[in-house]
């Protein structure tokens, strides 16, 4: 079916159900950012392939809200369809919530799948006077070849790689809950479940998780996921039950207190709990989320190793590119990098789909090259190359902006301004209790002084052989909902300011950093960042005269470390590139 036909079919279902609007948030029953094929509902209905966005279909409108990462991409992908793009940030910002509140003032029913509506999202709709209806998924009736839920096998990570056994983590969660008189812990966040049980899966591309719910009780641990997953792994401290039986188990609880995160628990499960007898709900973020975010010493050492292995692949790749041996396109250069990573035996696969945007495509923040949009990398231009890997001992995420041909003065100055912000954030010393929101301006400051900016977050958490986007920590101008999250020792986070000039070029520089102790004085404990990413910057884009002596020293020290770590590990043919790329400024 064409997109317009799908919208017409959905409207027919809406009329039959007595709904004035239907919302598609593009997530799954676990509030995952990236989803398996079954829940690519936003992509199916609209044709937009980005990882974030909200669709609202009414009787006479089909709207899709996206953030600044996807403005250009979304506009191109919905062109020629009934859909109209709306922006959720920037000077033309609006929101689906505001639209629904303004459009439906007479108690009209607005529908959404109960599986993908989280508890707090429902409450937010209701607080804004929207008559939200959590129902069965209307798409089931019109998406005739909708994929089934995956049942891929899981893999057990050795405790020596994890630093703690699953039972140790479970007991820690029980202990934390006991202090608040909580007997049960309901967890639906997929990366939390994988981390707690030291299991990894493959249900979602590039993210080693598996679809499941976890219920930790005072004496039992029940994992709700298909038994077929355990063909190679023997369940240890948990019982495996069918995925859909979670509702029955929850409704059968009585006389107890259960902790859950209303941001990650969907209405189908909440409805089941509403049927339980004398069950009090304790709301809060999963304890495992904070435990997982602050990497233990074993995990941190694994992340360091993963970044060195990644650095070897990156330098070998960059040396090959700089030798100018091949004619690349955006797709072929992404594959060349992937091929280089695959030479490392500990490499498991990408941590997300590589972004390779050349020239004006680099101005599309989360550009995704296709056979239709793929362009040759020829002449003069900048390539934004954002990629990452899953290794047996960690996860990487790195962006480098590469120069092909000759750079303009504007490109060099833009790159140097972004680099200055990148360095300022990495070098900052800050007191314990500081949040990423408080640090965000450091990365923007030099762009602001020139009347320029970027609108995406500056930093996101990264998991340990898990999700490349991990909470609760982040560095962003947006405070978000809930209490601000202080940066804690062991948290791994990205440092990735950028600049995007539509129709011209894009620039982004990204390293991963870990929060570490800096000093303790009479004013308290202070933290700073340890840089994990090990790969040279693009020297030919740096305007040395725009840098302070301290900034020059930072770059030289970083490049000296990169050379020292990699010189004996890269290919012989890559050493000349590595030496020249890391020469002092």
pLDDT of residue 372: 85
Q: Domain 3-141, CATH 3.40.350.10 — does that match?
A: yes
Q: Given strand 355-358, what is the order of strands in its sheet?
A: 355-358, 381-387, 398-404
pLDDT of residue 50: 87
* Entry pTM: 0.93
What is the b/e burial string over 312-336, where b = at least 16 CB atoms within 10 angstroms of the residue's CB? Answer: bbbbbbbbbbbeeeeebbbbebbee
- Please state the rounded mean pLDDT for residues 214-235: 96
pLDDT of residue 82: 97
CA distance 511 to 90: 25
Strand partners, 530: 514
Specify burial of residue 49 (Cβ count, 10 A radius: 0-12, 13-18, 19+). middle
pLDDT of residue 176: 98
pLDDT of residue 215: 98
* Domain extent listing, the chain: 3-141, 155-285, 294-576
Taking alpha carbons only, the member of 201, 208, 390, 386 closest to residue 306 is 390
Neighbours of 213 (CB within 10 A): 27
- Please state the rounded mean pLDDT for residues 215-237: 96
For residue 112, what are the contacts with CB-CB under 8 A and spacing of at least 6?
22, 23, 24, 25, 132, 133, 134, 135
CB 283 within 8 A of CB 304: no
pLDDT of residue 480: 65
- The pLDDT mean for the chain works out to 96
Is there a shared CATH topology between the 3-141 domain and the 155-285 domain? yes
* Secondary structure (3-state) at 471: strand
Taking alpha carbons only, the member of 245, 44, 242 closest to residue 143 is 44
Give 506-548 pLDDT, tens digit per residue.
Answer: 999 999 999 999 999 999 999 999 999 999 999 999 999 999 9
CA distance 413 to 206: 35
Residue 278 Cα to chain centre, angstroms: 37
What's 150's DSSP letter?
A: P
- Please state the rounded mean pLDDT for residues 152-174: 97
CB 279 within 8 A of CB 257: yes
Share of the chain above pLDDT 90, in %: 93
pLDDT of residue 61: 97
Give 455-502 pLDDT, tens digit per residue.
Answer: 999 999 999 999 999 999 999 998 766 778 999 999 999 999 999 999
Instruction: Tell me the residue ranges of DSSP E strands in 149-237.
Output: 155-156, 184-187, 199-200, 213-216, 221-224
CA distance 117 to 259: 19
- Report, in this order, helix, strand and coil percent for the chain, each rounded to 5: 35, 25, 40
pLDDT of residue 370: 84
CATH code linked to domain 294-576: 3.90.230.10
**pLDDT at residue 139 is higher than 80:** yes
What phi, psi does 308 have (nearest 5°)?
-70, -45
Rounded to whole angstroms, the maximal C-alpha distance in the chain is: 72
CATH code linked to domain 155-285: 3.40.350.10
- Please state the rounded mean pLDDT for residues 264-292: 97
Give 542-567 pLDDT, tens digit per residue.
Answer: 999 999 999 999 999 999 999 999 99
Neighbours of 273 (CB within 10 A): 18
Which range (167-181, 258-272, 362-376) has the least confidence?
362-376
Give 44-94 pLDDT, tens digit per residue.
Answer: 999 999 889 999 999 999 999 998 878 888 998 999 999 999 999 878 889
Taking alpha carbons only, the member of 474, 561, 476, 459 closest to residue 512 is 459
Query: Which tokens hold the place of 550?
Result: 């301290």
Taking alpha carbons only, the member of 200, 206, 204 closest to residue 37 is 204
- Please state the rounded mean pLDDT for residues 243-249: 96
Taking alpha carbons only, the member of 26, 25, 33, 20 closest to residue 470 is 33
Up-side HSE of residue 460: CA atoms within 13 Å toward CB?
Answer: 12
CA distance 110 to 118: 15
For residue 42, what are the contacts with CB-CB under 8 A and spacing of at least 6?
24, 25, 26, 48, 53, 54, 55, 64
Query: Which tokens hold the place of 248?
Result: 């029955």
- Please state the rounded mean pLDDT for residues 399-421: 98
Q: Are strands 109-113 and 221-224 parallel, antiparallel or unpaired?
A: unpaired
CA distance 266 to 515: 33
């Amino acid at each position: 079916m064409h997109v317009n036909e799908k919208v017409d079919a959905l409207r027919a279902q809406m009329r039959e159900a007595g709904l004035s609007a239907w919302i598609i948030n593009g997530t799954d029953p676990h509030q995952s950012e990236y989803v398996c094929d079954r829940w690519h509902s936003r992509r199916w209905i609209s044709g937009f392939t980005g990882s974030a966005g909200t669709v609202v279909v009414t009787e006479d409108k089909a709207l899709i809200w996206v953030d600044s990462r996807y403005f250009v991409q979304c506009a191109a992908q919905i062109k020629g369809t009934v859909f109209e793009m709306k922006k959720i940030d920037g000077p033309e910002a609006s929101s689906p919530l505001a639209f629904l509140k303004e459009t439906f003032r007479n108690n009209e029913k607005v529908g959404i799948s109960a599986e993908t509506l989280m508890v707090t999202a429902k409450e937010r709709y209701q607080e804004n006077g929207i008559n939200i209806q959590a129902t069965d998924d209307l798409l089931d009736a019109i998406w005739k070849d909708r994929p089934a839920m995956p049942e891929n096998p899981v893999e057990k990570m050795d405790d020596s790689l994890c630093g703690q056994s699953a039972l140790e983590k479970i007991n820690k969660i029980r202990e934390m809950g006991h202090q608040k008189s909580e007997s049960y812990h309901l967890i639906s966040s997929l990366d939390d479940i994988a981390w707690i049980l030291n299991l990894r899966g493959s249900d979602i591309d590039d993210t080693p998780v598996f679809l499941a719910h976890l219920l930790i009780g005072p004496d039992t641990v029940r994992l709700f996921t298909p038994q077929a997953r355990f063909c190679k792994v023997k369940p240890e401290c948990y019982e495996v039950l069918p995925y859909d039986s979670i509702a029955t188990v929850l409704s059968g609880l009585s006389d107890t207190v259960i902790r859950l995160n209303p941001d990650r628990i969907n209405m189908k499960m909440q409805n089941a709990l509403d049927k339980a007898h004398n069950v009090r709900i304790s709301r809060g973020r999963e304890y495992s989320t904070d435990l997982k975010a602050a990497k233990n010493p074993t995990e941190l050492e694994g992340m360091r190793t993963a970044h060195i292995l990644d650095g070897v692949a990156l330098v070998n790749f960059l040396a090959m590119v700089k030798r100018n041996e091949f004619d690349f396109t955006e797709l072929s250069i992404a594959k060349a990098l992937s091929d280089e990573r695959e030479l490392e035996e500990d490499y498991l696969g990408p941590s997300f789909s590589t972004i390779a945007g050349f020239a004006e495509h680099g101005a599309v923040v989360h550009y995704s090259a296709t056979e239709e949009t793929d362009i040759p990398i020829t002449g003069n231009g900048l390539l934004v190359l954002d990629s990452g890997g899953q290794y047996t001992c960690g996860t990487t995420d790195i962006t480098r902006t590469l120069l092909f041909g000759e750079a303009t003065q504007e490109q060099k100055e833009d790159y140097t301004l972004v680099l200055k912000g990148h360095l300022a954030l990495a070098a900052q010393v800050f007191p314990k209790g500081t949040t990423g929101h408080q640090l965000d301006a450091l990365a923007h400051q030099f762009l602001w002084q020139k009347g320029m900016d970027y609108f995406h977050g500056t930093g996101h958490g990264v998991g340990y052989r898990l999700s490349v986007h991990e909470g609760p920590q982040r560095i962003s101008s947006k405070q978000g909902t809930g209490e601000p999250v202080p940066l804690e020792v062991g948290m791994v986070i990205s440092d990735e300011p950028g600049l995007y000039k539509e129709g011209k070029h894009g620039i982004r520089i990204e390293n991963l950093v870990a929060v570490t102790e800096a000093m303790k004085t009479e004013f308290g404990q202070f933290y700073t960042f340890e840089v994990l990413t090990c790969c040279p910057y693009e020297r030919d884009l740096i305007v040395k005269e725009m840098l302070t002596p301290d900034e020059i020293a930072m770059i030289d020290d970083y490049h000296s470390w990169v050379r020292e770590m990699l010189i004996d590990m890269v290919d012989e043919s890559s050493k000349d590139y590595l030496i020249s790329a890391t020469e002092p400024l």
